[in-house]
């Protein structure tokens, strides 16, 4: 389903469904992304986001695939944008490129330090934090819907959960329209985060980000990268299926189905799936959710 305004879509009572792609680096990977884009149309995502990596080539690749997803697959596309390595002027010109390409929603992020570096170092003429990027987008592209990242289990660099929440509030006060969360495997972390956010006046939708883990090493890698808790029940079940790929995939799917079901039942505004450019297991999850009465069209 396509909607002219993402804000209106968030305001409706039907749960949002969105998926996240990353720009491919090889022809084979590009083919996989496009095949997935075609197959996922069946589930009518409200929008597809496409990430923005560190380094110069990413700008053109993010924009290239964002354009293609719109032109060939009719997706509502939300390119991500990070402050890494860009001056303020460069960021303004990228925002203009997105605008000229007809993209009317942006995920505004600070970004991670480039590979091999541990601390984020802003460009000498650049921005320090995502709230500044939100302000800049608002200044130059006011009609744009802006998403920002949120961390139910605290951003890795933040001194405390409370300090991180106050920084999240800055992004909302700067004009962000919604928050998409880092992936998590324990729903209680999301519910606590939403409650704490509401208590300090963060009133925009908080879209939970989910990823289906197909193996223990994969789940561990993602939890380590994002600082997410890996529940022992999930870790043990995946470990027991270490030599059975199919069983591992089933365990991961069942876990994310139970997560998704509870999130939707308890009022989450929808689901954002980190699909890693693959149709499965996202399509299987959507099938199960539909059978359970969610996302009926
Ligand atoms: C939904 C989602 C999508 C993502 N997509 C991408 C992507 O496409 N490309 C990519 O490279 N990375 C991506 N990331 C990862 C993200 O770039 C990293 O987590 C990064 O380290 C922080 O980005 P941020 O926008 O949350 O930064 P910020 O909001 O700037 O926060 C970074 C840290 O600084 C603190 N902070 C924030 N504002 C202030 C302030 N004004 N003063 C002092 N401290 C402050 C925060 O508490 C936090 O610890 C994504 C993350 C999420 C959740």
Q: Which atom of ligand 1 is nearest to the CA of 156?
A: 49
- Determine the pLDDT at residue 249: 97
pLDDT at 31 over 90: yes
**CA of residue 166 to ligand 1 center, whole Å:** 13
- Determine the pLDDT at residue 7: 86
Of the pLDDT bands very low, low, confident and very high (cuts 50, 70, 90), residue 1 is very low
Q: Which atom of ligand 1 is nearest to the CA of 54?
A: 11
Mean pLDDT, the chain, as a whole number? Answer: 95
Mean pLDDT of 222-246: 97
- Determine the pLDDT at residue 56: 55
Contact (CB, 8 A) for 222 and 210: no
- Determine the pLDDT at residue 137: 98
Contact (CB, 8 A) for 187 and 263: yes
**CA of residue 60 to ligand 1 center, whole Å:** 21
Token reading at 79 = 């390119």
264: nearest Cα among 6, 44, 16, 18: 16
pLDDT at 4 over 60: no
Mutate-to-test residue for ligand 1 from 21, 126, 167, highest number of ligand atoms within 8 A of CB:
167
pLDDT at 54 over 80: no
Higher-confidence residue of 49 and 13: namely: 49
SS3 128: coil
Kindly report which listed range (34-43, 53-62, 90-99, 247-256) carries the lowest average pLDDT score.
53-62
DSSP 114: P
Q: Which atom of ligand 1 is nearest to the CA of 147?
A: 1
pLDDT at 59 over 90: no
Token reading at 181 = 């969360």
HSE at residue 66, side-chain half, CA atoms within 13 A, is 27
174: nearest Cα among 86, 111, 97, 106: 106
What residue ranges define each of the domains in the chain, with the CATH number in brackets?
6-291 (3.20.20.220)
CB proximity list for 120: less than 8 A, separation 6 or greater:
84, 110, 111, 112, 113, 157
Mean pLDDT of 174-183: 98
Q: Which atom of ligand 1 is nearest to the CA of 22?
A: 8
As a whole number of angstroms, the distance between CA 297 and CA 150 comes to 29
Q: Please list, residue by residue across 54-75, b when 16 or more beta carbons sit within 10 angstroms of its beta carbon and e when fewer do.
A: eeeebbebbbebbbbbbeeeeb
pLDDT at 229 over 90: yes
φ, ψ of residue 164 to 5 degrees: the values are: -65, -40
**CA of residue 158 to ligand 1 center, whole Å:** 10
Q: Is the sign of the CA dihedral 243, 35, 19, 140 positive or negative?
A: positive
Kindly report which listed range (76-85, 88-97, 107-116) carries the lowest average pLDDT score.
107-116
Report the phi/psi class of residue 33: left, alpha or beta, with left for phi > 0 and alpha for psi in -120 to 50: alpha
Question: Which residues are known to be catalytic?
Answer: 20
pLDDT tens digits for range 155-166: 999 999 999 999
Mean pLDDT of 174-202: 98
pLDDT above 90 covers what percent of the chain? 90
CA-closest residue to ligand 1 atom 14: 111
Mean pLDDT of 140-147: 95
Measured at the CA of 66, the angle between CA 65 and CA 68, to 5 degrees, comes to 60
Give the helix ranges, DSSP H, for 174-281. 187-199, 216-226, 232-240, 245-265
SS3 29: helix
As a whole number of angstroms, the distance between CA 17 and CA 46 comes to 6
- Determine the pLDDT at residue 55: 59
In the structure, which protein residues have their CB atom closer than 6 angstroms to any atom of ligand 1?
Answer: 51-54, 80, 82, 107, 109-112, 129-131, 149, 155, 157-158, 163-164, 167, 170-171, 180, 182, 209
What does each C-alpha distance from 118 to 111, 114, 121, 153, 197 come to in angstroms? 12, 8, 9, 20, 28
Mutate-to-test residue for ligand 1 from 155, 161, 172, highest number of ligand atoms within 8 A of CB:
155
């Amino acid at each position: 389903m396509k909607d002219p305004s993402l804000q209106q879509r968030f305001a409706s009572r039907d749960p949002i469904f969105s998926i996240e792609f990353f720009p491919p680096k090889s022809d084979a990977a590009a083919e996989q992304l496009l095949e997935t884009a075609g197959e996922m149309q069946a589930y009518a995502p409200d929008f597809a986001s496409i990430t923005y990596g560190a380094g110069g080539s990413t700008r053109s690749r993010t924009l290239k695939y964002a354009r293609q997803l719109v032109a060939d697959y009719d997706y509502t596309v939300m390119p991500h944008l990070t402050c890494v390595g860009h001056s303020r002027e460069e960021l303004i010109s990228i925002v203009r490129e997105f605008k000229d390409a007809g993209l009317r929603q942006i995920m505004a992020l600070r970004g991670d330090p480039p590979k091999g570096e541990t601390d984020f170092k802003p460009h000498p003429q650049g921005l320090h934090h995502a709230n500044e990027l939100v302000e800049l987008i608002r200044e130059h592209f006011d009609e744009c819907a802006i998403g920002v990242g949120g961390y139910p289990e605290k951003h890795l660099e933040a001194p405390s959960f409370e300090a991180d929440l106050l920084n999240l509030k800055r992004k909302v006060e700067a004009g962000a329209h919604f928050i998409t969360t880092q992936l998590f495997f324990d729903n209680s972390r999301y519910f606590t985060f939403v409650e704490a956010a509401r208590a300090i006046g963060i009133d925009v939708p908080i879209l939970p980000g989910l990823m289906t883990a197909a193996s223990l090493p994969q789940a561990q890698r993602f939890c380590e990268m994002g600082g997410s808790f890996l529940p022992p029940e999930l870790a043990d079940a995946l470990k027991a299926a270490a030599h059975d790929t199919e069983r591992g995939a089933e365990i991961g799917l069942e876990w994310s189905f139970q997560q998704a079901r509870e999130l939707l039942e308890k009022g989450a505004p929808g689901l954002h799936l980190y699909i890693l450019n693959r149709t499965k297991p996202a399509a299987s999850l959507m099938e199960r959710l539909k059978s359970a009465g969610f996302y009926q069209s």
